[in-house]
Homo-oligomer: A and B are copies of this chain.
Amino acid sequence: MSSMYLGNLKISLFGQSHGKGIGVVIDGLPAGEKVDMDALQAFMQRRAPGNSDVSTPRKESDVPNILSGLTDGVTCGAPLCAVFENTNTRSSDYDRLKNVPRPGHADYTAQVKFCGFQDAAGGGHFSGRLTAPLTFAGGICKQILERRGIAVGAHLLSVGNVRDAGFDPVSVTAKQVLLPGSKPFPVLSDEAGEQMRESILRAKAMGDSLGGIIECACVGVPAGWGDPMLDGMENRLSRILFAIPAVKGVAFGDGFEAAVSAGSVQNDAYYIEESAVKCRTNHAGGILGGITNGMPVLFRCAIKPTPSIALRQESVNLASMECEMLEIGGRHDPCIAPRAVPVVEAAASIALLDAWMGEKMYKKA
């Protein structure tokens, strides 16, 4: 069992959706790093529910109570622990669900895994709410990276069948990657965003939900970050991205499109510009052999449709072992992808800061 990210940076996530609180311990942050709490709160707000008509009207407290690791707003070298109280929980929504697992959720698998002792309310430890401390941790990493000229930004590449343009894989700038996150709806083209919102509202009206694809770019990452084989950037990133509950696919650069392409296309040609090695294209997503090549690091995540839908569904009663129809009450996101955008940025920031630490470690001195 490990709800821990264990690299050079070590992060421990805890909490259940309807327990007393959730939170995170970040062990290994360098000392002397300022944390801009306003910027961090604004970053977390992008993930928070209740912001718009396409997200759940549920309100959650996303204000961290930082117990340790900061002195006068600066990291002191000791592990940083932040706790988020759980408020506004409505456990009665879930009472009936205890024995009737919601399709698409982890209710059934948690029950088997924990021999029936799992905390079922609100999805327990498997709740999307656990992305709040993940976002908090990643938000701090993001600030540390930004001070070193590295910008991590993501946007909705698609929602359902509506597709936006992607980042330019070669020339995308820090300003461009940060732009979508500054908008109420994290897209490049607001027109595409409007269509996405309409699709979501349509799905919601039908008691259904939609998925989407998030594209993320990391600009300013020098060549040489990451390690061979098991600790390459792709390994690190995918490992943490799949910790986001709805992610079902992760692809770097051209990803699955590389599979229908040719080597003569995929091989990014090198050239020299201003005494630096550059690539003319970026089909590799800035990573070769697990190690960054100095081009923007680019990847996409597939987000599945929210499993909580209003439509009546077929399930089973685990007590009686009989089939049982299920209707899920409560208030849910008809599409979780918009709120997942900052979580993806946070996950990427953690993996990058981890690689940065490793990079320092292995340099000869």
Q: How far, in whole Å, are A251 and B211 apart by their CA atoms in the complex?
A: 14
Q: Which of A266, A321, A323 has the most CB of B within 10 A?
A: A266
CB distance from A47 to the nearest CB of B (A): 16
Contact B212 A259 (CB under 8 A): yes
Cβ–Cβ contact A117 & B71, under 8 A: yes
Interface of A is mostly: mixed
**Contact residues in B for A254 (Cβ distance below 8 Å):** 248, 304
Whether, in the assembled complex, A83 has its beta carbon less than 8 Å from a beta carbon of chain B, the answer is yes
Residue A38 is within 8 A (CB to CB) of chain B in the complex: no
Select which of B2, B108, B130, B303 is within 8 A of A277 by beta carbon. Answer: B108
Q: Identify the closest chain B residue to A110 (Cβ).
A: B289
| Contact residues in B for A20 (Cβ distance below 8 Å) | 65-68
Minimum-distance CB pairs A-B, first 7: A106-B289, A249-B251, A77-B114, A209-B263, A78-B125, A109-B291, A112-B224
**Contact among B1, B78, B126, B280 with A15 in the assembled complex (CB-CB below 8 Å):** B78
Complex Cα distance, B365 from A11, in Å, reads 21
What is the chain B residue whose CB lies nearest that of A284? B104
- Assuming A12-B79, A230-B240, A277-B316, what are 5 further A-B pairs, CB within 8 angstroms? A31-B362, A78-B228, A104-B288, A112-B291, A235-B238
The answer for the CA separation of A318 and B207 in the assembled complex, in Å, is 59
A61-111 residues at the B interface, CB under 8 angstroms: 65-69, 71, 74-81, 83, 101-106, 108-110
**Within the complex, which residue of B2, B15, B287 is in contact with A227, where a contact is CB–CB below 8 Å?**
B2
